[in-house]
Amino acid sequence: MNAELSVFSQFEGQGNDNALSTRDPILSRNSSSPVGLTTRCQFLPSDFELNPSSMCMKKTSIIVIGNSKGGVGKTVTAINLAGAFALMGKKVLVVDTDFQGSATEHLKVLEQAQEQNLSLSKAITNDLTLDQVRLSSQIDGIDVIAGDIELITVRDRMAAEPHNHLLIEGVLDCNALSEYDIVIIDTHPDWNCLLVSALKYAHYFIVPLFAEKGSVSGLVTFLESVQSKVRRRLNPSLHFLGCVVTNYLKKNRTHQHFFQLLLQMGEEHGFPVLTPPIPYSDRVKSAEASQVPTMHLSTSVASKAYKTLASILLPELKGRRQGRPDAANIETLRSAVNGFELEANEF
């Protein structure tokens, strides 16, 4: 098997997935609940324990798209993977946790969300579940929970709440979740309670990045945060599906060299690099303007790449897996990144 396509095998770790804790000393601080924001998180007892068997119904697979660096193609990747999975006959829910609402706008549900006053912030603030706030997009097979500017208020008010890592779970943990094969959660680059709560409830995560030296530092920072703040206590079974290079210029020598170095670094330090890289395409911008996934506008190299990537990922999506996945050695990886950036400077 091609080395780049066999990266998933190293993450089939053995172990016990039942030692989950809902207390994170990094995130939890003693604080009184803010007036005017009612959420189920405030009313959970301090010794609240969650039954792992109820965390997801059937075989719904939940994927977070994240990176500590902004502008690397997170929303484009979320939207186009959703579109590709929908074309494959899968029922997909896109959850927009970014206050900028780019995924919401891209899937053409912004006006609908505003008219009906339905959004993720509304769900969290009023203790609603996904069946009460989801919106149907114009793309068959894709529903959306909208993001909006009010998520800033939610983020700030819930920052010091001891159970803020349950925010996304409170919205998604209902019978309606089983209607979906795949849930894709688009995120903001800030490390905040919305992102942590998404990673806490997710089964998998993907990190998009550009073929540029600075993107690798963002990847390492994100992996380090996931390992220390999520996997260690909140979600030990969270699996890293891999990083995916976006806006890739095949004829650009710097991009070629970057991608080869990234493949080598991933193999040596224990993290998967997904193939194919997503090529740069003017069609991606056209699709954004038309508010549809790229493959729903026309055939392009980018749409073909996202379809291929979705077909590679789909067999790996099996809901919540058992056992603790292997983790990249962050210390050696960070050292490798320093060398990586020095070598990249030569191109």
* Domain membership flag for residue 7: no
* Domain membership flag for residue 11: no
Per-residue model confidence (pLDDT) at position 217: 78
As to burial, measured by CB atoms within 10 angstroms (0-12 exposed, 13-18 middle, 19+ buried), residue 315 is exposed
Per-residue model confidence (pLDDT) at position 38: 41
92 close to 181: Cβ distance less than 8 angstroms: yes
* Domain membership flag for residue 12: no
Domain count, the chain: 1
205 close to 328: Cβ distance less than 8 angstroms: no
Per-residue tokens: 20: 């989950």
Low-confidence ranges of the chain (pLDDT < 50): 1-57
> Dihedral of CA 327/332/338/342: which sign?
negative
* DSSP SS3 for 165: helix
Alpha helices in 4-101 (DSSP H): 74-87
* Domain membership flag for residue 324: yes
Interior CA angle at 54 toward 51 and 60, to 5°? Answer: 145
C-alpha closest to that of 145 among 172, 163, 178: 172
Torsion of CA 291, 107, 64, 25, to 10 degrees: 110
Which helix (H) or strand (E) segment holds residue 344: the answer is helix 330-344
Which DSSP string corresponds to 187-245? --SS--HHHHHHHHH-SEEEEEEESSHHHHHHHHHHHHHHIIIIITTT-TT-EEEEEEE
Tokens 């409170």 belong to residue: 170
pTM: 0.79
* Domain membership flag for residue 14: no
Domain of 144 in residue numbering reads as 57-344
* Domain membership flag for residue 34: no
**Beta strand pairing call for 61-65 and 182-186:** parallel
CA atoms within 13 A on the CB side of 189: 14
- Cα distances from 282 to residues 104, 253, 304, in angstroms, run 21, 20, 14
* Domain membership flag for residue 39: no
* Domain membership flag for residue 23: no
C-alpha–C-alpha distance, residues 283 and 276, integer Å: 18
Per-residue model confidence (pLDDT) at position 6: 36
Per-residue model confidence (pLDDT) at position 44: 44
C-alpha–C-alpha distance, residues 148 and 187, integer Å: 12
Rounded to the nearest 10 degrees, the angle between the axes of helix 213-226 and helix 330-344 is: 170
Instruction: Check which CATH number belongs to the domain holding 123 and give it.
Output: 3.40.50.300
**Residue 24 CA to its chain's centroid (Å):** 20
